[in-house]
Structure 1
Amino acid sequence: MTQKYFHMLFLYLGRMNAFLAAALLGFLVLLINLDIVSRTLFDGSLPGVTEIIALAIPVLVFLALPYQVSGGLLIRNNYFLRKGGGNSALELFSNVVSMAISVGISIATMPLLLSAIDSGEFFGTPDVFTISVWPLRLAILFGSLLVAILFAYKVVEDWRWSLVSSQTAVTLSVFIISIGISYNIAGSNTEIGSVSIVLLLWLLITGVPVAFSLLCTGVVGLSFMKHDLGIGVDVLGMVSASAVSSYVFAAVPLFVLMGLIVASANIGRDSLRVAYWFVGFLKGGLGIATVGANTIFAAITGISIASAAIFSKVAAPELIARGFTPKFALGLVAGSSVLGMLIPPSILLIIYGIIAEVSINKLFVAAVIPGLLLAFLLCLVVVLCVTLNLRFAVTDRYHLTEELPVISISEILRVGPPIFLLVACIVGGIYGGIFTPTEAGAVGSALSCVIALSLGRIKVKKLIELVFSAASTTSSLLFMIIGASAFGLMLTLSGIPEALGQVAQVTGLGLTTYVCLYFLIVVFLGTILDSTSILLVMVPIGLPVVHAMGGDLIWFGIVTVIGVEVGLLTPPLGLSIYAIKASIDDDSISLGDIFRGASPFAMLTFLVCLLLIFNPNLCLFLL
């Protein structure tokens, strides 16, 4: 009974922490908008905005992290856990690894906290603006301790109530022993790094949360390279405090918040109606409108999973009712939803820009032509399928002149302006150099909030829930970047990127051939890993080689993101497909049906990427 009460207490603390993180996110939105107003009206920015935001981001991450852990919401690969009916050995192993890393973060942070208090350590510029860093250290310590306790509780529960499969337990033991032997046999840092990459892929595949997989690999690899576990643990404290402590990282929670508000306000439905009003007279007009609406929605949110979930409810029923086959209708929704990862603003492009340390604005500009090209080709596929009356796409009920209720001019004038205002503000502000991506996210969040409330689409209570959800989601995303930072340090010390570059030179691999091979690996990983994980694993490996071979890192980023997009549509883990399946209330449509329906669009996206690989100017033309 006492154990139960303790567990409830820690769950309560986790939720309270998450509410503090949500309040902090709301404060950041307000602060950035006030800074923009001050700069515009009074010709001067508010002091300390950059420093406050940089310090607030890791605080937000570790405040919300315990809630994500308690709810089992950390991003991970559940494929083998699902196939094994929730395999106890894998779950137990995952929780032990995560608990150990959390304890390591706590151990590494404690002396940093005491030092910050004793020395009065601050962040900022003296005589301009400074802020003490001890609250950051305290938030990291408290959050990591709470996470460690929650995982410890999960370990105890797994041990007490789960019957561990002997076969799986033996397999785990053999692999762990093999990895240990491999580390001890490995002589050079490059060999240790290679073993670490194998370890990382195995951790990811077996269901260890992505962030903890990256952190574990980084710590273990660095410890073996330096022959000192203490150095690996110290790295945990360093990356936890500094990896996401930058103004640019605020773009992630701000765009996530804006996407959630826009999705809840039914702006996806409005964008479909507006798009249909423009193209409804064409053959396959409703299908074209679905692609167009996804393009508009992507330009507002940048979140493909949100597009997939929304348009599977909004567009798919209408498409099916007008004679499109269910698998084609849902495949079209899935295929067009990946535009959210390409049409700016894109969360994946932001994450790539942060990892690669390249201009996010330039990435957004470079993505315009590929995004519009892909949207055009998706529309062309719809027109061809309808014109040729392909049984894969349309049924006997389909009519070339689709009969949808006529949308009046007054209705378009009512729902259209908010959409165009959001697109103009966000896209125009970024491309026009008025806003940085972070500022555009803050303005978009505030504007979408005003629009949603003024139209009566959401209530204040719902808005608070959305801010809470955005803070929690952001915690998972940015914690993975913290993990990627540790993994990146290990890779740098291993010398693997340099070794790959030397191999490419010796074998005579050109840049194009190398990027093609890299693209195929990214697509393959998309069958087993989620999109963010692929970026965090592959970019640190592939990017240094491309840079050494003279490749453009902006172009490489677009190719990488499109490769990830293909993975969103491929089995067994295509997340867009799973989002659609979870959104529809129809057991007669299987996951296999949706995957088959999406296959032409996945192939089309694949071909577009090959075109970009062989013609980089399609990306770089506008730069």
Structure 2
Amino acid sequence: MADHVPDSNTLSEAGQRSAITFATLASTALKRVTEFMSSIGTVWFFALVILICTEIIAREFFLSPIRGVKEIVAYSVVGAAFLQLANTVFAERMARADFMLSIFGKRLPASVAVIEVVVSIIGLIAMVLLAQATWPKLVDAFVESEIVGVPGEFSFQVWPLRCLVFVGSVMTALAFLARAIRKSSVVFDGRGNGGLIGLGVTLAILATLWFTLFPVVMDAGLSTFAIGAILLATLIVVVMSGVHIGVAMLLIGFIGLWLLKGRIGFGYSMLGLAGNEFLANYYFSAVPLFVLMGLLVAAADIGRETFAVASWLTRPIRGGLGIATVGANAMFAAITGSSVASATVFSKVATPEMIRHGYNKQFSVGVVAGSSVLGMLIPPSLLLIVYGFLAEQSVGHLFIAAIIPGFILATAMSLMIWLNATFRPHTVFETAPGAGSDVDAISGIGHAALYLAPIIGLIVLVLGGIYGGFFTPTEGGAVGSAGALIYALLRGRLPMQKLWQVMVETGQIATTVLFLILAANIFTIMLASSGFVQNIGTLINSLDLSLLQFAVIYVILLVILGMFLESVSIMLIVVPIALPTVAALGGDPIWFGILTVIAVEIGLLTPPFGLSCYVVAATLKDKGIDLTDIFRGVKPFVLVMFLMTILIILFPSLASMTFQK
């Protein structure tokens, strides 16, 4: 009997499976290395809180400021962020708009894995370019013994930190490579060799398009404005296709600089500067500090206590629990500055309580998602910090200017809930409601004051310290984080495992935002070099638009973008383009910042992206609540926010009161 000889197809398939298995093992080993690096970066971010608080105490109480803290913190933010960048790729935390992938997933499920491979390869290319651009800076810093600070007083060499930038870029490139291989295995498992052939053909077509179109555009003699416009449109298409937003801005910005200057060296030079120098700014330490503060406040259950007091106070009012959710969200916003944190906390706290007391499911989730947007308007606010940097405006002034609009918006939301509960009760209640809801957690005024003490204390500590001149808004994030941590530890609400989870999540969120800011810098430089911003300003001026007309168009544009992109990305792309026009039309940049934040936040509630709605859905995924319920529930809140933008456009003074001479 003849020996059985495996056919070539079987051998080929076995070889491919072996290769995929080996790649999977290598990917697992790489992931462990990136997790170790991320752990170092996580602890580093946390250490900044201790350092900044120590410096404040030494400065304010002992009149002995610690030298070099700003330089240490600024460069630490860069090093810690790049240490954690690769792990954010593995954790799938890098910002992207993936609604197109969900559409393809329903109609052409086999295509999703192919697109994901392409997305990963684009990420790989971008990070390889960044690594190549940062290497010469590292070498120069090492050879020249470059230092930061004042020799003889305080200084340190910067090459170790630039080494972290290079190593972080390389590891992130490898993480994207591992992701590409992992997604390729999905293609193979789903379609076998045919799937891999289709993937190869797709990549070959894309490569051919690049090598064909790029020389044509380079030699076409296009104006710099045309190049800027084409690349802006390309960015929108690429982002909508699922490419990570930071990667898309970095890569397209690099290509644009190459096209504009006719040589690749200029693009590398700008990439190197952005990677090593741009984020080395004390200002950007506010990002991880305020993210950490928000997550610590959430972990300490301060949101639950605040909701208990608010619901006790509003128990005689029709729709009181809904109004209590808005009020609790407003107070919670005053110490977190995060809509996502608010949505996460009150999904768990308020939604079950409202449903238990006869409120319908759609209204209950709508209130939570709708009022969560207060987190990005009521100071301290991460979006206002980002806007302050982009517009070169005082963050303190922006915080003060946001107080009145934040109060008006919270009041308008509460009034809308009361009107619906009183005159359209079927939209609010599932069963016949009583006069109010019984809240057993609060027994009296003294008990309520005890519950409110932590949040009031943190508000006074953070905002009082900022407005009192004891510390800067950036330092306020560190002080607030320390205060929330001490409270949580004293109450026994933050075991080590939970604290570590908070620290890890802080690193992932902060690193994502910082990478977006870095990439947006490259894209903004490209747009500025193309003259696109100046030409748009000239075009708008030629249309003879008034400031009011421009503001209306601007709000509509932000809302449309908010349907697809997340808040920070929108601001990084749009604000540098729109701000010069506002200045030319005589608009107040403080007012414009408040208007921008409110309009961007509407996007958190609108499909298909609607980040706050997705957060609520993910938090309540085991409660039988779907995304459709949430989007329907937030409609009245979207209407209130639109009315708020109209009010601010018609009465700019409402959003520009800084009480400064």
Q: Is the 8 A contact 1:186 1:192 kept in 2?
A: no
Counterpart in the other structure of 1:136: 161
Question: What are the residue-to-residue correspondences of 1:391-402 with 2, within 5 Å?
Answer: 391-402=426-437
Question: What are the residue-to-residue correspondences of 1:200-215 with 2, within 5 Å?
Answer: 200-215=235-250
Q: Secondary structure at the match of 1:308?
A: helix
Q: Secondary structure at the match of 1:137?
A: helix
Q: Note the C-alpha offset of 1:466.
A: 1.4
Q: Is the 8 A contact 1:281 1:401 kept in 2?
A: yes
Q: 1:549 to 1:299 in 2, by over 3 A?
A: same
- The answer on 1:309 being equivalent to 2:360 is no
Q: Is the 8 A contact 2:312 2:439 kept in 1?
A: no
Q: Secondary structure at the match of 1:497?
A: helix
Counterpart in the other structure of 2:600: 564
Counterpart in the other structure of 1:44: 64
In 2: Cα distance, 1:178 partner to 1:318 partner: 60
Question: What are the residue-to-residue correspondences of 1:391-540 with 2, within 5 Å?
Answer: 391-405=426-440, 407-409=442-444, 411-540=447-576
Q: Note the C-alpha offset of 1:137.
A: 0.9
Q: Secondary structure at the match of 1:123?
A: strand
Counterpart in the other structure of 1:378: 413
Counterpart in the other structure of 2:175: 150
In 1: Cα distance, 2:81 partner to 2:60 partner: 31
AA at the equivalent of 1:137:
R
Q: Is the 8 A contact 1:491 1:540 kept in 2?
A: no
Q: Secondary structure at the match of 2:148?
A: strand
In 2: Cα distance, 1:121 partner to 1:303 partner: 38
How high is the sequence identity, in percent, across the aligned residues?
38
Q: Note the C-alpha offset of 1:383.
A: 1.0
- The answer on 1:241 being equivalent to 2:276 is yes
- The answer on 1:99 being equivalent to 2:124 is yes
Q: Note the C-alpha offset of 1:176.
A: 5.9
Q: Is the 8 A contact 1:179 1:195 kept in 2?
A: no
AA at the equivalent of 2:244:
P
Q: Note the C-alpha offset of 1:396.
A: 3.4
Larger displacement relative to structure 2 (176-185 or 78-87): 176-185
Q: Note the C-alpha offset of 1:161.
A: 4.5
In 1: Cα distance, 2:150 partner to 2:375 partner: 38
In 2: Cα distance, 1:122 partner to 1:40 partner: 28
Counterpart in the other structure of 2:14: none
User: What is the number of residues matched between the two proteins?
Assistant: 623
Counterpart in the other structure of 1:9: 29
Q: 1:71 to 1:548 in 2, by over 3 A?
A: same
Q: Note the C-alpha offset of 1:586.
A: 4.9
The TM-score with structure 2 as length reference comes to 0.90
Q: Note the C-alpha offset of 1:389.
A: 3.8
AA at the equivalent of 1:248:
Y
Q: Is the 8 A contact 2:359 2:431 kept in 1?
A: no
Q: Encode CA deviations 1:45-96: one digit per residue, 9 max, x unaligned.
A: 1100011111111111100101111222211111122222261232122111
Q: 1:184 to 1:563 in 2, by over 3 A?
A: farther
Counterpart in the other structure of 2:641: 605
Counterpart in the other structure of 2:101: 81
Larger displacement relative to structure 2 (590-599 or 462-471): 462-471
Match of 1:326 among 337, 342, 361: 361
Q: Secondary structure at the match of 2:548?
A: helix
Counterpart in the other structure of 2:224: 189
In 1: Cα distance, 2:642 partner to 2:550 partner: 16
Q: Note the C-alpha offset of 1:339.
A: 0.1
Q: 1:177 to 1:383 in 2, by over 3 A?
A: farther
Match of 1:218 among 232, 244, 253: 253
AA at the equivalent of 1:19:
S
- The answer on 1:31 being equivalent to 2:56 is no
Q: Note the C-alpha offset of 1:415.
A: 2.3
Q: Secondary structure at the match of 1:131?
A: strand
Q: Is the 8 A contact 1:89 1:169 kept in 2?
A: no
AA at the equivalent of 1:577:
C
Q: 1:319 to 1:2 in 2, by over 3 A?
A: closer
Q: Is the 8 A contact 1:74 1:209 kept in 2?
A: yes
Q: 1:126 to 1:170 in 2, by over 3 A?
A: closer
The TM-score with structure 1 as length reference comes to 0.96
Q: Is the 8 A contact 1:276 1:289 kept in 2?
A: yes
Q: Secondary structure at the match of 1:315?
A: helix
Question: What are the residue-to-residue correspondences of 1:573-584 with 2, within 5 Å?
Answer: 573-584=609-620
Match of 2:389 among 354, 370, 374: 354
AA at the equivalent of 2:26:
F
Q: Is the 8 A contact 1:481 1:536 kept in 2?
A: yes
In 1: Cα distance, 2:609 partner to 2:24 partner: 35
